[in-house]
């Protein structure tokens, strides 16, 4: 009887582990951030590219190391709100993996919101990236996009950052 209970417990724990989210947002609820830009008549628009490494090569091109990535969407303005119209995540081959939101959200002055790509999310691969479409009040500072990748397996730890590049 104890063996059956133990077996059921192991199966239950294993199934919970397999259903774990592989990408999360902490603690942002995108629906609570949506805004209708039609109410604002004059804005400047742009698109920013951000490289994100969910994996890197280790020892050779045949072995990869998984990383956790924290993607920061930062408003560096002290007075003006910025607007992000879309955040889309792509894999190494350029295929869209997921769109985090495609309704305009706001980020308040000096606020940061984050997207976390969990270490066990391997969909992006070694060449993952984001495209962010955004809008700002003319003559205010553009949003700042940055990714921090980290892994701390065993006794080894590694981390590095990337910064967004405006492409439109």
Q: What is the pTM of this model?
A: 0.79
- Of 149, 44, 32, 40, whose CA–CA distance to 101 is shortest? 32
- What pLDDT, on the 0 to 100 scale, is given for residue 30? 76
HSE at residue 76, side-chain half, CA atoms within 13 A, is: 9
Higher-confidence position of 3 and 75: 75
pLDDT digits (tens, 9 = 90+) for 112-148: 999 998 888 888 888 999 999 999 999 999 999 999 9
3-state secondary structure of 4: helix
Residue 88: predicted pLDDT: 95
What's the confidence (pLDDT) of residue 3? 60
* 6-63 per-position pLDDT tens digit: 555 555 555 544 444 445 544 467 777 888 877 677 899 999 999 998 887 777 777 7
Pick the CATH number of 22-166 from 2.60.120.10, 2.60.290.11, 3.30.70.20, 3.40.50.1820: 2.60.290.11
151 confidence band (pLDDT: 50, 70, 90): confident
Domain ranges of the chain: 22-166
Higher pLDDT, 5 or 130: 130
């Amino acid at each position: 009887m104890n063996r059956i209970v133990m077996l059921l417990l192991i199966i239950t724990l294993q199934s919970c582990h397999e259903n774990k989210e592989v990408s999360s947002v902490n603690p942002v609820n995108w629906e609570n951030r949506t805004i209708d830009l039609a109410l604002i008549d004059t804005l400047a628009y742009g698109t920013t590219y951000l490289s994100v490494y969910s994996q890197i090569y280790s020892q050779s091109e045949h072995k990869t190391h998984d990383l956790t990535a924290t993607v920061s969407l930062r408003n560096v303005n002290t007075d003006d709100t910025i607007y992000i119209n879309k955040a889309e995540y792509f894999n190494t081959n350029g295929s869209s993996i997921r769109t985090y939101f495609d309704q305009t959200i706001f980020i308040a002055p000096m606020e940061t919101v984050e997207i976390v790509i969990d270490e066990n999310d391997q969909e992006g691969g070694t060449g993952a990236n984001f495209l962010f479409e955004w809008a700002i009040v003319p003559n205010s500072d553009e949003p700042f996009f940055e990714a921090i990748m980290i892994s701390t397996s065993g006794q080894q730890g590694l981390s590095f950052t990337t910064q967004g590049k405006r492409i439109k």
